[in-house]
Homo-oligomer: A and B are copies of this chain.
Amino acid sequence: MSRRTIVALMGAGIMGAPMARNIARAGFAIRAWNRTPEKVKALLNEGVSVCATPFACVADADVVILMLSTGAVCDEVLFGADGTQGVAPVLKRGAVVVVMSSIPVETAQRHAERLKALGCGYVDAPVSGGERGAIEGNLSIMAGGAEGDLARVLPVLSAMGRVTHVGPCGAGQLAKIANQLIVGVTIGAVAEALLLVEKGGGDAEAVHRALQGGFADSTVWRQHGRRMIERNFKPGAYAHVQLKDLDTARDLAASLGLDLRFGALARDLYARMCETGGAALDHSALYLELAEARKTPPNQPHALANMTNGS
């Protein structure tokens, strides 16, 4: 019988903590580290070892998962920065690092190269499905990397959700950006359609029901459409994060010689929304921006300036 796989998870926050819990439930030996240790103490009662440092966390681990806030934080924890030391040199030879945060494609590719030189594998595996998906263990996990590396971590990833191998290293991030691009533009489509129905005197609630199951149906129609009808723009997912994702999509597209027409329009509208007080609203509040599109002259504050934090 083979030795039990040891899993390290760094960044046991809103997403990482329930992910660690599901890995423990699946029978793996799992250790977690979080920058703010108070937040992970509860995991001790659920079969997760809590470590005081990243070094203690990764020691002897076969699979090292990062669920940290940004690519820069992943860089720092793996390779160090400003005189601090990263964990990369103490990783077990043959370990596979899995970055599940959303980070730039080129950061993922750089990680893979540096870790390969140390004898370690690398998979980029960002997720979709949010806190609820993390808790319920049904995240959509978009994995990029070599077939062999993915095969070694697949049992662990499968404890957190549904894994799809979407291409070489970086492809997971590419899929995540594609996901965010679709969401941002579809919110625009849904907002304009509901504005048309409401201004035309239709019953938006009834149209919302009628279009379900047809060609116009989408998760955005069901969830964000409902928010728009109820004028419930409490986040959810922040408009400023949607803007950041659309910036990433634009930059990536530009580097590939691709011009995103719908993506650029959505990006500009979210930018204007964030500049005029809407940054902390849910991204579905693009509805308000589009409702105002004609009435407000450029560079003038408008209705959104009076709405913040979605409360």
Contacts and interface: CB of A to CB of B under 8 A. Distances in A.
Contacts of A290: 261
A175 interface: yes
A211 B265 contact: no
A201 B258 contact: no
Interface in A194-241: 194-197, 199-203, 206-207, 209-211, 213-221, 223
A182 interface: yes
Nearest to A195: B258
Contacts of A186: 185-186, 189, 216, 218
A151 to B, nearest CB: 15
Most buried by B among A190, A197, A269: A197
A144 B203 CA distance: 10
Interface in A150-197: 162, 164-168, 170-171, 174-175, 177-186, 188-190, 192-197
Most buried by B among A165, A186, A256: A186
A171 B221 contact: no
A178 B215 CA distance: 11
A189 to B, nearest CB: 4
Interface string A60-75: 0000000000000000
B177 A196 contact: yes
Nearest to A193: B178
Contact of A190 (B167, B174, B177, B182): B182
A77 interface: no
Interface of A is mostly: helix
A120 to B, nearest CB: 22
Number of chain copies forming the complex: 2
Contacts of A265: 261-262, 265
A277 B263 CA distance: 25
A216 B185 CA distance: 10
A171 B191 CA distance: 17
Contact of A206 (B167, B182, B183): B167
Contact of A294 (B128, B203, B259): B259
A129 interface: yes
A207 B262 contact: no
B256 A207 contact: no
Interface of A: 105, 128-129, 140-142, 144, 162, 164-168, 170-171, 174-175, 177-186, 188-190, 192-197, 199-203, 206-207, 209-211, 213-221, 223, 249, 252-253, 256-263, 265-266, 269, 290, 293-294
